[in-house]
Amino acid sequence: MRAPLVAVAYQSGFGHTATLADSVVAGAVSAGATVTPVVVTDMTDADWHTLDTADAIVFGSATYMGNVSSGFQAFAEKTGRRCITGAWRDKVGAGFTNSGAKSGDKMHTLISLAVFAAQHHMHWVNLGLGPGWNSSAGSEHDANRLGFWLGAGAATDVDADAGAVHPADVATCRHLGARVAEVTAQLIAGRAVTTAA
């Protein structure tokens, strides 16, 4: 069976979300996917081709003003024609975000990413981890330490370097990348069976 083609399409103003994107990429590669990162604020024709031909797109945006950034939304609006024609129909989708505050209203960002994928008729893959750091036995070092289900949510001090993203958040995004690659591989295999039948 061919390797799933996964794109990681993200915006990052100060590098924190970019660090998470790197981890999503690493996770998907570890699960056997061929992965291409795409910076959505600097789209080239080759980048559009990458997204158009991917089996799965993992969307990432920094949380700005309790939502996806204007840079990500500008990218989203450029996909309007693809939305109408169904160009991304039945691709796999997933999402991740980073904010300064531990909550930071970033659930709203994940919802925006999921709605964006739904408008493209994509199949949303959730995080697939139980909540971490939610009992006396838990700690900030738990995977999914901030307790999201819809996607991966990270928090990085606003004055931290890009490399100072919390290791638990990095691991959580790595998990998301691997999960997307695995689900996409299952979908490709299933389609091959149903097409042959």
Residues that bind ligand FMN (CB under 6 A): 12-17, 62-66, 98-101, 104-105, 156, 158
End-to-end CA distance of the chain: 17
13 versus 32: smaller Cβ distance to ligand FMN: 13
4 versus 151: smaller Cβ distance to ligand FMN: 151
Q: What minimum distance in Å lies between the beta carbon of 105 and ligand FMN?
A: 5
Q: Could you tell me if 156 and 98 are in contact, meaning their C-beta atoms sit under 8 angstroms apart?
A: yes
90 versus 161: smaller Cβ distance to ligand FMN: 161
Tokens of 155: 């928090």
Q: What minimum distance in Å lies between the beta carbon of 156 and ligand FMN?
A: 4
b/e per residue 110-121 (b: at least 16 CB within 10 A): bebbbebbeebe
Q: What minimum distance in Å lies between the beta carbon of 67 and ligand FMN?
A: 8
- Residue nearest ligand FMN by beta-carbon distance: 104
Q: What minimum distance in Å lies between the beta carbon of 31 and ligand FMN?
A: 24
| Helix (H) or strand (E) segment spanning residue 124 | strand 123-124
Q: What is the 3-state secondary structure (H, E, C) of 65-102?
A: CCEECHHHHHHHHHCHHHHHHCCCCCCEEEEEEEECCC
101 versus 115: smaller Cβ distance to ligand FMN: 101
